[in-house]
Structures are given as structure tokens and as C-alpha cells.
A and B are shown apart, each in its own frame.
Chain A
């Protein structure tokens, strides 16, 4: 097994675990924490491919991923606080009926 293969497997498992959390958890904060776990898997993959291709493109891409993650966290948490102020709960199922 190449060393890069090992990193790709680890990144894929991290991404899959984050996906499981996002799909199955009901707490909105934990759902967005799971997306951060998915981001970690993507960063591992990007840097592993930078290693495979012997250049820095993947690492620069990881830097932009960090910026996107910060944007996502700021907006998502603002939205979660807004939704919490309306319904008084963090349960995502409280918002399962749209268009009211």
C-alpha cells in the first residue's frame, strides 16, 4: 500500500462518518459539527494528493477550505441561533414542515 493510499482511506472514513452524523442526528449544532468532520476528511485528502503530485496545489486548496469552513460555521451558527429564537428548540424535526 502506498502511503498516500492510507491517507485517502482515512480521509474517506472521516468524510463518511461526518455524513452519517449529518443525516442521522437531530440536534442542529451536532449536524453542523458533523459537516466540520467532513471538512477534515477533505483536508486530509487534499494534502495527501499534494504529496502524491509533489506540488503545493493541494495545500493551497486546504487553505481555501479553511476559509470556507469558517464562513460556513459563522453563517450556520447565526442561522441556528435565529431558528432557536423562533421555536425554542434545537431539534431539526421541529422544522420538518416547510411553507408555514
Chain B
């Protein structure tokens, strides 16, 4: 990464930080319009930078630039939207764009698993809890933030520190000279240092399966144990009887919601 590119990255991250700061919900006068302008400028700059820097190295570079822009724009809306349901829906955009980027990195299995687990399971749980716990159309605590300036400073300083040094990569065989199949084959050949004869051509899913079931089999068992513990913990939490500190609302008849009462 040349110094000019690094300076450009710092400039764009600063633009994005200012935009995010202005877009965060706050009580009083909110300058969301100016924030949207700053954020759009930063995103557009990042898109052009990625397009110029990567499109001539790799033919899929334009797709990477598009999906990276979508992911970052959606993530900014997840963080800054004042309605939690919309935050959850924008998070679906983040997941889809990230899994598209994983496909571009030849991680097809992980991309599909990401969509199934995140968009299919985790997001539905979040939306359930939002629907369960959200009272009015817009609560007071969604209209303001704690310490937005410090939070933006911490988050974007970290991002700038990592992004500024992202160019110092160790020397390795350049990945863009290999086709997808060669990439997977080399990876699967590395698995077989124990002397096992592998299939000469192996898909990404099969190669990941080999890797997880041989090299990382202990970690796999531990992950299963962790999921079991979390399941027991979640059930114990939800069965726990707690004294409520607020007066209970009278129960409404089912048909009333939506006609006389605001549904959501």
C-alpha cells in the first residue's frame, strides 16, 4: 500500500466517523442530513478506492467493491437507525453482503452456512425478542446515545489503526494467480501430511470437512459442548422466576390490538 493510498484510507475513515457521529440518534437537534452527506461521501470514496486499486489485479474486484460498500452501508444503518426492527433488517443486508464477499474468497461453504445460521436462525431470534419487548413505536432510549463522540472515536480509531497497517502483509505466493480449484487442491494437499491419500480434486465443503474432522476435531467437540452449555443456560435463564419491579399492564383481548391499540 503506497503512502498516498494509506492517506486516502485515513481520510475516508475520518469522513465515515464524522458521518456516523452525526447519524447516531440523539435527543435535541439532530443533523442526520449532514451525517448522511458525510457518510455517503466516505462510502463513495471507499468504493472508488477499492475499485481502482483492486479491479485491475483481479477480475472479480468490481464485485468485491460493490459488496464491501453494501456491507459497510448496512452496518452503519444497523448501528445508527433509531428503530430496532429496521436495525435487524439492515443486519440481514450485512450478512448477505459478507457472504457474497466470502464466495469471492472461495469460501463457499462458510458463505452458505453464514446465510443459514445468521439470516435464518439468529436474526429470527432477534426479531422475536424485539417484537416481544418493544412497547411503543419509538422508545425514548432509542432516541439518544451514550457518549456518541467517545464511542465513535474509539471505534474508528481502532478501524484506522488496523486499516492503516493492512498493507504490511507477509510475503506469500500471490493468491490471485491461482484458480479456485488450485486453491482448494493445495489446501487439501496440506491436510494430508500424515500420508493419507486424498482425492485429487476436492470441493471446498469436502476440504473443510476434512480439516474440521481431522485437525480440529477436539475444537469441534468443545464447540458442541459449548452449544450444550449455552442451551442449558438459556433454558435456566428463561425459567427463572424474577420479581417484577414494574406494575403489570392489564391484559388486552386479542382482537383489540391493531384496532384500538397500536400494533407495534
Contacts and interface: CB of A to CB of B under 8 A. Distances in A.
Nearest to A4: B169
A85 B238 CA distance: 10
Interface string B170-204: 10111110100001001110110000000000001
A16 B159 contact: yes
Contacts of A81: 129, 132-133, 237-238
Contacts of B188: 56
A88 B176 CA distance: 54
Nearest to A66: B117
B35 interface: no
A18 B72 CA distance: 10
B5 A1 contact: yes
| Contact residues of B: prevailing secondary structure | helix
Contacts of B121: 70
Given A24-B146, A33-B78, A89 B141 contact: yes
Contacts of B110: 43, 47, 59, 62-63, 66
B247 to A, nearest CB: 8
A45 to B, nearest CB: 9
Interface in B118-159: 118, 121-122, 125-126, 129-130, 132-134, 139-142, 144-148, 150-152, 154-156, 158-159
A12 B159 contact: yes
B212 A60 contact: yes
A7 B107 CA distance: 13
Give the interface size bracket for B toward A. Answer: 35 or more
A63 B114 CA distance: 9
B230 interface: yes
A26 B145 contact: yes
Contact of B117 (A25, A44, A57, A70): A70
Given A1-B5, A24-B24, A78 B237 contact: yes
Contacts of A37: 75, 78-79, 91, 94
Interface of B: 1, 5, 9, 13, 16, 20, 24, 46, 50, 53-54, 57-58, 61, 64, 68, 71-72, 75-76, 78-80, 84, 87-88, 91, 94-95, 98, 101-102, 105-107, 109-110, 113-114, 117-118, 121-122, 125-126, 129-130, 132-134, 139-142, 144-148, 150-152, 154-156, 158-160, 162-163, 166-167, 169-170, 172-176, 178, 183, 186-188, 190-191, 204, 207-208, 211-212, 215-216, 219, 223, 226-227, 229-231, 233-234, 237-238, 240, 242-246
Given A29-B129, A44-B98, 14 more contacts: A1-B54, A4-B169, A26-B141, A30-B79, A55-B190, A56-B187, A56-B190, A57-B215, A59-B208, A60-B212, A63-B110, A78-B234, A78-B237, A93-B141
